[in-house]
Amino acid sequence: MSTVTTAFEKAAAEDRAALVGYLPAGFPDKHTAIKAALAMVDAGADVIEVGLPYSDPLMDGPVIADAVHQALKGGTKIADVFELVAAVADAGAAALVMTYWNPVDHYGVDAFCRDLGNAGGAGLITPDLTPEEAGPWLAASDAHHLDRVFLVAPSSPPARVETITGLCRGFVYAVSLMGITGARQTMSSAAAGVVARIREHTSLPAAVGLGVSTGAQAREVATFADGVIVGSAFVRRLAEAPTQAEAIKAVSALTADLASGVRRS
């Protein structure tokens, strides 16, 4: 059983949704990213998505795209991603890497999976990898016992949802709206429908991402989803804080608010 599965089962047993928080490795610098991730774990995050900085982040909105650009300018390497994964795993939380496929392919799929597993990582979230192109990843994830998280969008037809959910392990990523990442004032009305369609094809947990930024929004999503994914709101806290100490404090406070929000009772 993977650490991701354990995290979702623990959350369900406590009558709440799992809280999944995203941060890119190396932003605003390597050491602050590690401290921020550990603060998120301490404040109640169940799973940490470690973003692998990439030069062409097509799915990401301006907040994350700018952070990733700064991380790359700062010299962030894949080794730094694995270091952050290891820190999260050592802290007792599940760590997944969120990455576009090109860096994994360039590194070598089997080698990447080997090194991710050695760092304590649970698996990958692959937003731009289609099932038709996923053969090497499917084989390597089986060989190294890693979770694979694919995305289901509001536009995904039933046959596509069945294919995608059949390949997932850990959880299924339910995209709440068509568009790029970013915090929003209100949640998309499509999110509950995407979760319902996922559940027609799998018993895996469904976690909703894109748009959640407050405890109130997390509470809304927790009424129909197994997990709540938050990214841009965390990255904005890091970007806006004038000092490292204030950045960590802001990230911790947001995590606590969200962790309270995902509780259903």
Q: Cα dist. 63→41, 43, 231, 237 in Å? A: 22, 23, 9, 10
The confidence score (pLDDT) of residue 186 equals 46
Q: Which of 61, 67, 141 is nearest to 104 (CA)?
A: 141
Least confident of 83-87, 109-113, 154-158: 154-158
Q: Are 25 and 50 in contact (CB under 8 A)?
A: yes
The answer to whether residue 24 scores a pLDDT higher than 60 is yes
Q: Alpha helix locations (H) across the chain?
A: 3-13, 30-43, 62-73, 78-90, 101-107, 109-118, 135-144, 158-167, 191-199, 215-222, 232-240, 244-261
The answer to whether residue 46 scores a pLDDT higher than 90 is yes
d(CA 238, CA 234): 7
The answer to whether residue 181 scores a pLDDT higher than 50 is no
d(CA 152, CA 206): 10
d(CA 214, CA 256): 10
pTM of the complete model: 0.94
d(CA 37, CA 101): 23
3-class DSSP state of 209: strand
The confidence score (pLDDT) of residue 252 equals 98
If one counts every other C-beta atom within 10 angstroms of the C-beta of residue 217, the result is 22
pLDDT tens digit string along 188-245?
568 999 999 999 999 999 999 988 999 999 999 999 999 999 999 999 999 999 999 9
Give the DSSP H/E element, type plus range, for residue 22.
strand 18-24
Q: Cα dist. 220→48, 56, 123, 217, 237 in Å? A: 21, 32, 27, 5, 22
Handedness of CA 107, 57, 194, 132 (dihedral sign): negative
pLDDT-based confidence at residue 180 (cuts at 50, 70, 90): very low
3-class DSSP state of 230: strand
CATH of domain 3-261: 3.20.20.70
The confidence score (pLDDT) of residue 190 equals 85
d(CA 169, CA 204): 7
The confidence score (pLDDT) of residue 177 equals 64
Least confident of 15-29, 46-60, 239-253: 46-60
Beta bridge partners of residue 91, listed in sequence order: none
* Residues with catalytic function: 49, 60
pLDDT tens digit string along 113-156?
999 999 999 999 999 999 999 999 999 999 999 999 999 999 99
How far is CA 145 from its chain centroid?
18
